[in-house]
Amino acid sequence: MMSCLFLSQAWAQTQKNSSQPSKEISNSNSEAKPLWANLTEAQRKALAPLHLEWQRINGSGKQKWLEIANRFPTMSPQEQERAQTRMKEWASLSPEQRRQIRENYKAAKSIPKEQREAQWQEYQSLPEERKKALEAKARNAQNRKPAGTLPQANTVKATKPESPVNSSASKITSPLPTAPSEPTTTTNP
């Protein structure tokens, strides 16, 4: 669960200045700038895990990733490895999973810093087995169908409605009025 927090934090921090939430994947047919070929060698090296996804990321999303790439040379080798591992994880997520991570990050940021730190310390003090169980639970929650989807309906064999000839509604007990066979004449007295 915490594995994507690093990238979602970087993503959300750059989103603060945006008045509207951006969509990561572009809906247009034209590729957002900058193109992968236009990146510097250092940027391509830093963002290598996103190479196959790069053409589908929209312009503002690319700018956010470039901010991380520009900080990449100042990171320690362990931080660089961790960042690229997280990029690989991010690239493998579905858009729905990415959206959920962003929402979780926003919710976590709404918790006061002291409370977040206390919760983190509590998590850190858990035994490894419990941490792994929580991670598995989070993974299973991510793999479930997105909220709002309806379960498949059970197939029910359609039954043919009862024929009106055989139904009890067609059995009328009162006689129907009949039209007179000859016109009746009335005489005025």
65-87: pLDDT as tens digits: 999 999 999 999 999 999 999 99
Q: What is the pLDDT of residue 138?
A: 83
**pLDDT at residue 54 is higher than 90:** yes
CA angle 36, 41, 46 (to 5 degrees): 80
Is 187 domain-assigned?
no
168-189: pLDDT as tens digits: 444 444 454 555 555 555 555 5
For residues 81 and 136, membership in a common domain is answered with no
Is 73 domain-assigned?
yes
For residues 71 and 1, membership in a common domain is answered with yes
Structural domain boundaries enclosing 47: 1-12+27-110
Is 79 domain-assigned?
yes
What is the tally of structural domains in the chain? 2
For residues 85 and 103, membership in a common domain is answered with yes
Please give the mean pLDDT across all residues of the chain: 74
For residues 128 and 104, membership in a common domain is answered with no
State what percent of residues in the chain have pLDDT above 90.
Answer: 45
Q: What is the pLDDT of residue 33?
A: 87
Of 17-21, 30-34, 156-160, which one has max mean pLDDT? 30-34
CB–CB of 9/90 below 8 Å? no
Q: What is the pLDDT of residue 182?
A: 52
For residues 32 and 84, membership in a common domain is answered with yes
Contacts of 90 (CB under 8 A, 6+ apart): 4, 7, 49, 50, 98
107-132: pLDDT as tens digits: 999 999 999 999 999 999 999 999 99
For residues 93 and 42, membership in a common domain is answered with yes
CA distances from 32 to 41, 60, 91 (A): 19, 9, 17
Is 57 domain-assigned?
yes
> The pTM is what?
0.51
